[in-house]
């Protein structure tokens, strides 16, 4: 009968069995859709991954971002240039001061203000401390994600001490708002320099401890080696920058390629990987921590004397102490806050943040607030690499890949 024959199913009608090469022994099941996040503890904030799984293998991934979108670029158009520092702090909240440095350099380039050498040196110091702060959280949380929970304690011991230094310098542990257009908000005292020097001197031994915990750890190897591999070609195509690009063997570092601040005068190495997998990203970041400590030691030993904010008080906020005691500085403060306008123009300026190229594209119409600010956030762009990294790998690898990729959703969603 025709009705019976219609129910016969031929082999070609069966859903295709996914073959992963050597994985012929894998059990296949009906593809299962899973939503990982946005409240998943391993997605580092509010990333949502819509996954399609075949058994334990990822066959489709759609990262959903935007849960932390706060409209910073829109807000920037309503704020003065100095006010916007408050929002840059909260981009990559692990390295608030580095975000501020990028914005300060961008506005200074637009207005033709030059910060004095001491301010430049302090900013370079802050950039490297912030790189360490971000890398320490990455090491701590990455350890937790891959099963080495004690790593968290070791990394956060150093990070707390680092934040104590920042607290002493700026008055706040994090989200400091310490940078000023034309300089910094307060001077670096000799006592604090001595404390920083001690921290920096102790730090390389602590990195050795991290490595004792992780680098030779067999479980860690099993979790990270060959996981989330991308080629240099793929990384460049996807616009990946920072440690994730360098792990693929491309030695591009903005501190060298498009230098800013005092980096041309400093001695440091740019570590690169060879395989571009999660383990290489780990190794590159660990070596970057050592290099940052090396840079900091050079800077703290040769800190230039002089002003820490440009004396151009028609364009720059005068130091607070003098505002309260001197009539002229008070007038300058008032006029700078209420009516300072940089010239018309456009600037794209990028700095090497902990995760890659953090750029600000600033368009000024000559008004007291920017016409348009576009933040080129490395976390947002690097996150695109999650797709080629995870496809075909196991579900549990996603956690290791996210840990090694390291993005901050505050910066990603802006």
Partner 1 sequence: MADAPANPPTSSSAPTAAPPPPPDPLAAAMTALGAEPQPTTQDGLPVFRVERDAWPSVARAMRHDPQLAFELLIDVAGVDFPKRRPRFEVVYHLWSLTWNKVVRVKVGVPEEDPQVASVVGLWGTADWHEREAFDMVGVKFAGHPDLRRILMPDDYPWHPLRKDFPVEGIDNSISYVRAGGVLMTREIDVDRPAGQDRTPVDLSRGDPAGYSDGTPTLPEEKAK
Site of interaction with partner 1 (CB under 8 A): 65-66, 69, 71, 73-75, 77-80, 109-110, 112, 234, 236-241, 250, 252, 257-258, 339, 341, 343-350, 357, 359, 361, 363, 365-369, 371-372, 374, 376, 380-381, 383-384, 413-414
We find the least distance from the C-beta atom of residue 82 to partner 1, in angstroms, to be 12
Pick 311 or 344: Cβ nearer partner 1: 344
The greatest distance separating any two alpha carbons of the chain, rounded to the nearest whole angstrom, comes to: 103
Work out the number of other CB atoms within 10 angstroms of the CB of residue 22: 7
Query: In angstroms, what is the minimal distance from the CB of 99 to partner 1?
Result: 16
Extended strands (E) in 55-208: 57-64, 179-180, 183-184
DSSP string, 310-363: -S-TTTSPPPHHHHTT-HHHHHHHHHHHHH--PPSEEEEEEEEETTEEEEEEEE
Please identify, using beta-carbon distances, which residue of 303 and 341 lies nearer to partner 1.
341
The DSSP bridge partners found for residue 57 are 54, 394
Backbone angles phi, psi at 177, to 5 degrees: 55, 55
Residue 273 near residue 281, CB atoms below 8 Å: yes
By beta-carbon proximity to partner 1, the closer residue of 218 and 314 is 314
Q: Shortest approach of partner 1 to residue 309 CB, angstroms?
A: 21
Cβ nearer to partner 1, comparing 74 with 320: 74
Considering beta carbons, is residue 64 or 194 the nearer one to partner 1?
Answer: 64
CB of 331 to partner 1, least distance (A): 16
Burial of 7 (0-12, 13-18, 19+ CB in 10 A): exposed
Nearer to partner 1, 192 or 236 (CB): 236
- Smallest distance, partner 1 to C-beta of residue 338, A: 8
Smallest gap from Cβ 55 to partner 1, in A, equals 26
Least separation in angstroms between residue 102's CB and partner 1 is 13
Q: 388: closest CA among 227, 230, 226? A: 230
**What does the chain come to in residues?**
414
Query: Can you say whether the dihedral through the CA atoms of 95, 96, 101, 106 is positive or negative?
Result: positive
Minimum CB distance to partner 1 smaller for 163 or for 371: 371
Nearer to partner 1, 313 or 380 (CB): 380
Q: How far is the CB of 390 from partner 1 (least distance, A)?
A: 15
Tokens of 333: 């403060």
Q: CA dist 97 to 120, 230, 354, Å?
A: 13, 31, 12
């Amino acid at each position: 009968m025709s009705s019976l024959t219609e129910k016969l199913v031929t082999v070609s009608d069966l859903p295709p069995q996914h073959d992963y090469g050597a994985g012929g022994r894998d059990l296949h099941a009906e593809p299962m859709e899973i939503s990982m996040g946005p409240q998943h503890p391993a997605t580092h904030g509010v990333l949502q991954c819509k996954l399609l799984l075949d058994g334990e293998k990822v066959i489709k991934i759609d990262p959903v971002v935007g849960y932390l979108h706060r409209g910073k670029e829109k807000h920037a158009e309503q704020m003065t240039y100095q006010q916007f520092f408050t929002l840059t702090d909260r981009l990559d909240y692990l390295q608030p001061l580095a975000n501020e440095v990028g914005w300060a350099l961008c506005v200074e380039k637009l207005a033709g203000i030059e910060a004095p050498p001491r301010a430049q040196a302090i900013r370079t110091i802050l950039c490297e401390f912030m790189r360490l702060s971000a890398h320490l959280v990455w090491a701590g949380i990455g350890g937790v994600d891959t099963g080495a929970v004690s790593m968290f304690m070791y990394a956060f011991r150093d990070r707390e001490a680092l934040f104590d230094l920042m607290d002493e310098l700026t008055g706040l542990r994090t989200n400091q708002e310490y940078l000023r257009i034309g300089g910094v908000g307060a001077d670096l005292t000799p006592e604090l320099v001595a404390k920083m020097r001690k921290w920096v001197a102790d730090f390389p031994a602590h990195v050795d401890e991290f490595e004792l915990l992780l680098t030779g750890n067999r479980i860690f190897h099993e979790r990270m080696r060959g996981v989330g591999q991308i080629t240099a070609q793929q990384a460049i195509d996807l616009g990946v920058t920072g440690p994730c690009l360098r792990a693929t063997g491309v030695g591009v570092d903005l501190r060298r390629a498009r230098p800013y601040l005092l980096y041309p005068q400093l001695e440091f190495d740019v570590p690169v990987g060879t395989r571009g997998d999660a383990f290489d990203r780990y190794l590159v970041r660990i070596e970057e921590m050592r290099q940052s400590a090396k840079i900091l030691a050079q800077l703290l030993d040769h800190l230039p004397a002089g002003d820490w904010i440009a004396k151009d008080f028609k364009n720059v906020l005068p130091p607070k102490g003098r505002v309260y005691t001197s009539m002229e500085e008070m007038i300058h403060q008032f006029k700078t806050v209420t009516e300072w306008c940089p010239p018309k123009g456009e600037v794209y300026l990028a700095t090497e943040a902990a995760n890659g190229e953090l750029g600000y594209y600033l368009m000024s119409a000559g008004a007291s607030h920017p016409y348009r600010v576009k933040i080129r956030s490395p976390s947002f762009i690097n996150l695109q690499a999650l797709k080629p990294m995870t496809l075909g790998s196991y579900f549990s690898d996603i956690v290791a890949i996210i840990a090694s990729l390291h993005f901050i959703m505050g910066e990603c969603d802006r």
